[in-house]
Structure 1
């Protein structure tokens, strides 16, 4: 009865934790020029600051999800909040890039704990409308990501880049108090026995990092040794994981479901375009167009708001028309959005930049919700847990690839020419999305006829 009475406060506590990962992911995009200037960094260094966050998140999100099942969701949730407190206090005091990278790494581990532990708390304590509550958490996360660049822009304008870390503290304080007071204690789970796939975790970490090193090194030519090592580690990881009974990443899930595998691939590519644009334009607006961080944040709203608006619109559209037409329309709109990147120059009006960003936002808004909903039409209910976890990993991989593209394209600095270089890479991605989307919607179309 007490839990039922405190449900709203429990949901609020979880929501405050869930928003921290997307909020910190997008707030920092507007702060990159200031950080780059203070530490005298190259675009490659900045790429590592962004990509390392996603590499760590990709590793720890599924790992901590399993740990929370064993050791308790409330405990893991509080540990996650505590790690974010430590990073938020110490990151602004970083004297150099290695220290800042370390603090961002701690922040990534902390925020990675909050989503799986938070969903576990909801499933354990909220007895009715669980799916609606989890959907509400997704809205919280999407909204915080949408407003991240704007919040970051205002904060950096008035307090410099360190303040984007300090803004976490009031959110954390409220979240910790609500968690301690209202989330029920964890029940001891003596029946669960789970052996950590340490080798799988290490192999996954190594091959992802090797691919990052290879991609970011393309500005200096192809590093064949790194490429061979990356390919080799990827193959070893796959061969090892497919024989594991409790693998870190269930590669057999992909092997047995081609349509699902392609959907994940589409989701990765869609994320690449969206995050590359989200990552590059705040810096472009400040460095090339000479605007303030506050103005950059305001202009970036065009990208995120249109993506957010299209989510409910696309959901209703797909309910009426099925998946094929909306998803094919989304990739064509996305292709137009990438082509429009070539029109952005050093004398472009901010309103035109906003229009270009809006087109990309519209495309991503449809693809994001469409691919997620399409995924769940292919899988059985009992596989929904692994499917959603792998979808989160796919998003992180897309973010890592986008960070690599950013690092290579802007290795010599932010400029119109380098923006066009990035646009060429994204154009290839946008073109590949078209046949992929046709493939994954064939079954859906057939079932309607």
Structure 2
């Protein structure tokens, strides 16, 4: 009688993975409600403060693949600890607030430091599953996505609250306790990295870039988050600058997006039905974009709430579903690297969103600019729908450790 391997993932392992993965989304979104007050402090307009967004995303887009390679070569625990240390240092530097350029540099450091969380978490989970012979850990993947997506949308609310009580430097200072807590959890509960017995193998990136299924997943992620980030940052700026809401009120109006995103992510952990969930996410993008065409400074608040919720549905569905697809498509040896490029695709979309907002709003966010943004996002949703429908691999059955290995690498 063969002994059964215990495939259960200890909660003490999940905690540091979630903690490390949260550092990036919370820093990505808290800045949304701080752009206007930071601009007032340094007499800077939207075109200048946009570098606070672009700086982090550019650093993240470049740093995520590097972090993934380091995870595959040196181990997730070391990379998690180094990344959290960088975030803590950035938190200290951000409280000094010497100039706008200084803050842009702080955001770059935050982008580099927060790169570690996602590829490290994916690598740890994949290695655990391969070691125990378990199936795809859909529950943990959903938990990671729920935590990240919830944090992403709660970020503006948290940022607005911190600014209301302590001023905008607090959105940088909050990284100090968050990073220290993440370091402590990783030190205590993430397994020590094992050094390979022989010489280190050269990393074969063809396993990532020669895989057409992975590349299509990257494209879907990039397009979807172009739309999501455009709303997250553009809508909030319009609420503050044209609608006249305070930072705290604008942040609170994003809560429906957070709640719906969390619920959608929680219901998206199944290993089958990938294409159907992606199509539903596109439909949500179209609904949200259509509603924005009717929005003005005097629009009933309920319309704004419903539009925010529609984009939250798209966010929660697309992130978990694409993440689950990636887990199937990448091998254990390249999971860190593949996950790094996955996040790079997301933040390339974020940088494109920043440029799109600047084009649509110009010097000042207006209702006309918001309508132009909505039309553009509807067009992006149509392209995303086409990309999803032509991908035959999305119609595959349930994901397990066994059938994942049987899938053609370049399909």
So what's the TM-score if we normalise by structure 1? 0.76
Farther off after superposition, 382-391 or 42-51: 382-391
Give the equivalent residue in structure 1 for 2:372: 421
Give the equivalent residue in structure 1 for 2:223: 269
C-alpha spacing 1:346/1:19, structure 2 compared with 1 (3 Å):
same
Instruction: Return the offset for 1:70.
Output: 3.3
Over residues 170-221 of structure 1, what are the superposed CA-to-partner deviations in whole Å (9 max), with x where a residue is unaligned? 22232333334444544444635367xxxxxxxxxxxxxxxxxxxxxxxxxx
Instruction: Return the offset for 1:275.
Output: 0.8
Instruction: Return the offset for 1:146.
Output: 3.0
Give the equivalent residue in structure 2 for 1:217: none
Q: 2:284 aligns with which of 328, 333, 353?
A: 333
C-alpha spacing 1:446/1:429, structure 2 compared with 1 (3 Å):
same
C-alpha spacing 1:391/1:73, structure 2 compared with 1 (3 Å):
closer
Aligned-partner Cα distance in 2 for 1:67–1:442: 29
Contact 2:222 2:348 in 1 (8 A): yes
Larger relative contact order (C-alpha < 8 A, sep ≥ 6)?
2
Instruction: Return the offset for 1:416.
Output: 1.3
Instruction: Return the offset for 1:364.
Output: 3.1
Higher normalized helix content (fraction of residues): 1
C-alpha spacing 1:84/1:372, structure 2 compared with 1 (3 Å):
closer
Give the equivalent residue in structure 1 for 2:101: 98
Aligned-partner Cα distance in 1 for 2:362–2:108: 23
Aligned-partner Cα distance in 2 for 1:41–1:171: 29
2:170 pairs with 1:172 = no
Instruction: Return the offset for 1:164.
Output: 1.0
Farther off after superposition, 181-190 or 92-101: 181-190
Instruction: Return the offset for 1:328.
Output: 3.1
Instruction: Return the offset for 1:271.
Output: 0.9
3-state SS of paired residue (1:19): helix
Aligned-partner Cα distance in 1 for 2:230–2:79: 32
Give the equivalent residue in structure 2 for 1:155: 162
Instruction: Return the offset for 1:12.
Output: 2.3
C-alpha spacing 1:181/1:272, structure 2 compared with 1 (3 Å):
closer
Q: 1:65 aligns with which of 34, 50, 68?
A: 68
Q: Structure 2: state its 5+ residue gaps.
A: 1-6, 399-411
Farther off after superposition, 122-131 or 265-274: 122-131
2:236 pairs with 1:282 = yes
Equivalence map 1:343-354=2 (5 Å):
343-354=294-305
3-state SS of paired residue (2:296): coil
Aligned-partner Cα distance in 1 for 2:144–2:322: 19
Instruction: Return the offset for 1:249.
Output: 9.7
Over residues 52-111 of structure 1, what are the superposed CA-to-partner deviations in whole Å (9 max), with x where a residue is unaligned? 211211211121222234344333222211111111011121221211111111111111
Instruction: Return the offset for 1:25.
Output: 0.7
Q: 2:260 aligns with which of 296, 306, 312?
A: 306
Equivalence map 1:331-410=2 (5 Å):
331-374=282-325, 379=329, 385=335, 387-410=338-361
Give the equivalent residue in structure 2 for 1:203: none
Instruction: Return the offset for 1:124.
Output: 6.4
Give the equivalent residue in structure 2 for 1:230: none
3-state SS of paired residue (1:94): coil
Aligned-partner Cα distance in 1 for 2:23–2:242: 30
Q: Structure 1: state its 5+ residue gaps.
A: 196-244
Aligned-partner Cα distance in 2 for 1:76–1:279: 30
Q: 1:136 aligns with which of 136, 143, 163?
A: 143
Farther off after superposition, 259-268 or 140-149: 259-268
Aligned-partner Cα distance in 1 for 2:35–2:192: 40
C-alpha spacing 1:427/1:186, structure 2 compared with 1 (3 Å):
closer
Aligned-partner Cα distance in 1 for 2:217–2:305: 29
Instruction: Return the offset for 1:306.
Output: 1.4
Aligned length: 386
Instruction: Return the offset for 1:296.
Output: 1.0
Contact 2:80 2:183 in 1 (8 A): no
Contact 2:86 2:113 in 1 (8 A): yes
Q: 2:117 aligns with which of 100, 114, 117?
A: 114
3-state SS of paired residue (1:413): coil
Give the equivalent residue in structure 2 for 1:208: none
Give the equivalent residue in structure 2 for 1:236: none
Contact 1:263 1:440 in 2 (8 A): no
